[in-house]
Amino acid sequence: MWILRIDMSKLSYKLEPVPEKYRYLYGRAMTSQIVADEVPPLCHALGPNNKLVFSAGMVTSTSAPTSARISVGCKSPLTGGIKEANAGTSWGPDLASMRIRALIVEGVPEKKDFWGAYISWDAEAGQPKVEFFEANQYIQHDVYETFPLIYQRFEGRISICSIGNAGENGYGNSGIVFNDLAKRPSRYAGRGGVGAVMASKGLKFLILNEKGSPGIEMADKPLFEEGRKKLIDAIRSHPISKPKGGLNSYGTAVLVNILNEAGGLPTRNFSSGRFEGAGRTAGEAIFETNKERMGKEIYNHACSPGCIIQCSNTYYNPDQTERTSCIEYESTWALGANLGIDNLDDIATMVQLCNAYGLDTIETGGTLGVAMEAGLLAWGDSKAAIEMIHEMGKGTPIGRILGAGAEVTGKVYGVRRVPTVKGQSMPAYEPRAIKGIGITYATTTMGADHTAGYTICPEILGVSGKVDPLSPEGKAALSRAFQATTAFIDSCGHCLFIAFPILDIAAGFEGMIQECNGVLGTNWTADDVVAYGAQVLKVERAFNEAAGIAAEADRLPEFMRLEPLPPHNQVFDISDETLDSVYKDL
C-alpha cells in the first residue's frame, strides 16, 4: 500500500510507503490524521499549506455490502476547522484496488490554470502512475456536460472525481463530485467547501482507471466472509434497509413525513418545526409521482458498486425523461420546507442545478432560507429560488454572496436568525424539537452535521431503542456514543445507513467487525470500535482547538435559545456544561 502525493505546484507525484503509525487508518481516520499531521491549523484553507486528502475505507473494494465510500479531508474554508466529507461511488473502490491508502494533493500552482490527473495501474512497475493533462477548457461548465466528455476522452472503465463552478469560484459552499453507477455526476462529498480546496490547487479532475490493479490484501478471508454474510442478512431483514423497505422504496426522503409529524422538520429558516406542504415534498410523493408518470412502481437504485440498500431515487418528468437523481431527504427539505416550497418539480430542478454547479444542497437551502429571511426573495417562491441558484452558478455578486454560505450571507445582510454552527448550515432536524441532534450539531468537529452523530435513530426512528426527543436527559452521552461509532463507520468504508440494521441486530454489528478483522488481521471487539472512533474524534478536536475553534464554538445560534419553536414551543435548553461534557468525557 502507498501514500500517493500529488504536488500541484510542480505537477509531480511520488509514492511513499504507508508509515507504521497509519497501519490501521482508513477513510475518515486516515484523512483526519494526515490533515492533523501535515496541515498547519491556522493556514488559509485556500492557500498553499492546506492539503486535500482522499482515502477509502477498510473494506472498500471488497465484496462487503454497501461499502464503497470515499473520504475527503482538508481544512475547511467554510468552518475553518478540520473537514471530512464522504460519498458512495466506484471511485473509492478503484482507489483502494490500486492500493493507494491515501491520495494527498498538496501545493498550489503559480498560475490560475486547471489540470486533470489520470491515475492508472502501471503493470510493469507494479504500482500506480499519474499523468497530468490540461483542463482549462472544462472549467465553468455544467458537470453534466463535462463528465460525458471525460468518459469519451479516456478508454476503459474509469471513475471520475471533479468539481463544478462552485469550487472553481472558491465558494464555501462547494462540493467534490464523483460518478454514480450510471456515470452521472451525482455523488457529492458535499459539505464544508471541499470543492474550493480542490480548485485552489488547480485540480479539476482526478480520474482513476484501476485496470490490472491487484485489489486489496485480505488477512483472513473466511472470517471476512462470515462477517459479510451476517451484515448482508441484517441489512436485508431490517425494515428500513431491506429490499422494497423504507429506503429502497421512498429513499431518504421517507423521513419528511416522519420528521414533520414529530414537529422537527425545520420550516422557513427554522421558524417552525412543521410545514403544511411537507407531504408534497416527501419520499412517498416522489414514489407516487414517478409511478403516475412512468406507469409503474419505480424502486431505487444503488449509487455505488455492491450496495444492497439501494436508496437513490431518480425523479422523472411527465414525458418520462429524467429530471434528476437523486432527491435526498436533506435536499427536498433544504430546498423545500426550509424555504416554504412544496413544488416537487421545482425542488427536483434545484437539486439538479446544485449537482450541475457543484453546490451542497444543504448549504444552498440553508443560505436561501437566510436570504428569504433578509427579504431578498419571498418564502415559497420556487422560481426565484431557482434563479438564485443560477446566479450562484454564474458567480454574479449576489451569486457569490450566496455561494459563500449561510453564515456569510447572514453577515452581508445583517440577519440575526442564521442556523449555522461553526459556519456550516444545519441539516434537516430541528434541535429544539430533537435535543440530541442539537448536541451533535453543536459539538461535532465538522460544524452542524447530522451524519456526525445521528441520534435521530433512537430519538425519532425507534432504532436502538426509543428516547423522548424533547428531553435533554442523557443526550450528551447519546451523542458522544453516536459520534464515536460514526467516526468508525466513516473509516471502515461502509455507508452510514448500515447503522439502522447493525444498531438493532447484534449479529449485523458483529458482522461488520468481523469483516474489518478479516481484512486487517485484527481482533477488534465492539469496545475497540468505539475506542477507534473516539481516537479519530480526539485528533479532529485537537486540530480544531489549534485552529482556534474550541468549546465556545460548540454552541447553537443564540436565536434557538431565545425563540420557542412551534409546535412544541420549546427552546434549545441544553446547558453549556452538558455540551462541553461531550468531548471532556470522551
Binding residues (CB under 8 A) for a second copy: these are: 40-44, 46-49, 77, 169-172, 196, 199-200, 396-398, 400-401, 403-404, 408, 411-416, 418, 545-553, 555, 557-559, 562
Distance between CA 483 and CA 477 in Å, rounded?
A: 10
Rounded to the nearest whole angstrom, what is the least distance from the CB of residue 252 to a second copy in the complex? 30
Q: What is the DSSP string of 120-133?
A: EEETTTTEEEEEEE
Q: 511 or 557, CB closer to a second copy?
A: 557
**Identity of the residue, 190 or 399, whose beta carbon is nearer to a second copy in the bound complex:** 399
Q: Which residue has the cell 489540470?
A: 115
Q: How far apart are CA 490 and CA 402, in angstroms?
A: 29
| Short-list 188, 129, 142, CA closest to 161 | 188
Q: Which is nearer to a second copy, 379 or 559 (CB)?
A: 559
Q: How far is the CB of 5 from a second copy (least distance, A)?
A: 20
By beta-carbon proximity to a second copy, the closer residue of 442 and 520 is: 442
Q: In whole angstroms, how close is the CB of 549 to a second copy at the nearest point?
A: 8
CB 274 to a second copy: min, Å: 24
80/264 with CB nearer a second copy: 80
Nearer to a second copy, 44 or 291 (CB): 44
With a CB cutoff of 8 Å and minimum separation 6, the contacts of 472 are: 435, 573, 574, 578
**Beta bridge partner(s), residue 15:** 4
Sign of CA dihedral 274, 278, 279, 283: negative
Q: How far is the CB of 87 from a second copy (least distance, A)?
A: 23
85: three-class secondary structure by DSSP: strand
Burial 232-248 (b: 16+ CB within 10 A, else e): bbbbbebebbbeebbbb
**Quick one: 5 or 422, whose CB is closer to a second copy?**
422
Cα–Cα distance list, 487 to 64, 346, 520, 536, 537 (Å): 18, 35, 18, 6, 7
Q: How far is the CB of 398 from a second copy (least distance, A)?
A: 4
Of the pair 291, 390, the CB lying nearest a second copy is at 390
DSSP state, 328? -
Contacts of 194 (CB under 8 A, 6+ apart): 52, 72, 74, 76, 83, 85, 174, 175, 176
Amino acid at 466: K
CB of residue 173 vs a second copy: minimum separation in angstroms?
11
Q: What distance in Å separates the CA atoms of residue 121 and residue 36, rounded to the nearest whole number? A: 29
Nearer to a second copy, 283 or 557 (CB): 557
Residue-level length of the chain:
586
CA distances from 388 to 371, 376, 537 (A): 10, 10, 36
